Copies of this chain bind each other. A is one copy, B any other.
Amino acid sequence: MPVRRELEQVQARLRDAFRTSIPILNQVGGHVLATRGKKFRPTLLLLVARLRGQLDRDAVEAATAIEMVHAAALIHDDSVDRSELRRGLWSDEMAIIMGDYLYAQAMTILVEHHLDVAMGVLARVVTEMSCGEALEFQYAYDLDVTEEQYEELVRAKTASLIGAATEIGAGLNGSARHRAVRERYRAFGERVGVAFQIVDDLFDYLGDPEVTGKPVGYDLAEGKVTLPLIAALREASEADRRRLKTLALRKRWSPAHWSQLRALIERCGGFDYARARAAAVALEARALIGDRASASAPVGAPGGAGARAARRALDRAVDYAVQRDH
């Protein structure tokens, strides 16, 4: 992994954010850090930056800010979703405070390091993410949601931040003014993010709770109508559609009911469609930054062994988004 050292620096910067004079903040911060692992967004930011030049301190600072925004959004969303992730470690009240603190720390880092372009991206993306969350409320338990509406929700709520990471990465090294390049990398990150989320939504039906850490049907019970169900409803016969709707709107399922629902979605091609769509979106992502075959000459980027290693790692990251098992 060509950016391992920088990711360690990001982790150290995150720890610094919880060395305050307020014990309760440091304590909850410790839990936040302990439960956070993959650093997908900072990794993408750093890889894109490395692909296009050398990594400097700005890259680490921007990557830290992005991870803080991700953690803040997750904590707020977690509080919104009442999911199990938090495991009762802290109260909803403290979750709100911690999220606000992390947003503010992200802003502070970007202001202090004069990362103005990144600041603009951050302002936009936090708007998009909260609009995405509002859309989720708007569409809750609505079985007439279309694939287009679903994808816009996913783009706003989840993919926008991944697009922000790749856009910011492309704008470092004095490349902030190359708007077309930045936009291309943003589109790349957003496509990766959409693919990532479609796969995530498949886990709600097909994941192993032992691996994902989340019971199946959790999202559906919360009213989240996702691609497998949308696609199945679209393809189903009239009779199947009625059965699907009835089954989907139960908020609790017996094992028998859950199996019925899953079998019906399977039969109507919902899972196959979602898998194919995730793969197609991942391909779109790759096309945006040039084919694997031309990996030695990525779009508008300087070459070099480091850049090639970054490109290979980016390809692996896209693969991970669609091929992971949790």
A residues near B (Cβ < 8 Å) are 20, 22-25, 73, 76, 79-80, 92-94, 96-101, 103-105, 107-108, 110-111, 116, 119-120, 122-124, 126-127, 129-131, 133-135, 137-138
Question: Roughly how many angstroms separate A135 CA and B137 CA in the complex, as a whole number?
Answer: 32
Q: Are A24 and B134 within 8 A (Cβ)?
A: yes
Complex interface: chain B residues within 8 A of A122 (CB): 107
Q: Are A24 and B97 within 8 A (Cβ)?
A: no
Q: Are A123 and B137 within 8 A (Cβ)?
A: no
Q: Are A93 and B137 within 8 A (Cβ)?
A: yes
For the complex formed, measure the closest distance between the CB of A96 and the CB atoms of chain B, giving whole angstroms.
Answer: 5
Question: Roughly how many angstroms separate A94 CA and B98 CA in the complex, as a whole number?
Answer: 17
Copies in the complex: 2
* A to B CB contacts below 8 Å, 29 in the list: A22-B131, A22-B134, A25-B131, A25-B134, A76-B97, A76-B100, A80-B93, A93-B137, A94-B134, A96-B99, A97-B134, A97-B137, A99-B100, A100-B103, A100-B133, A101-B127, A101-B130, A101-B131, A101-B134, A103-B126, A105-B127, A107-B107, A107-B119, A107-B126, A108-B123, A108-B127, A110-B123, A111-B120, A111-B123
Q: Are A137 and B94 within 8 A (Cβ)?
A: yes
Question: Roughly how many angstroms separate A131 CA and B24 CA in the complex, as a whole number?
Answer: 10
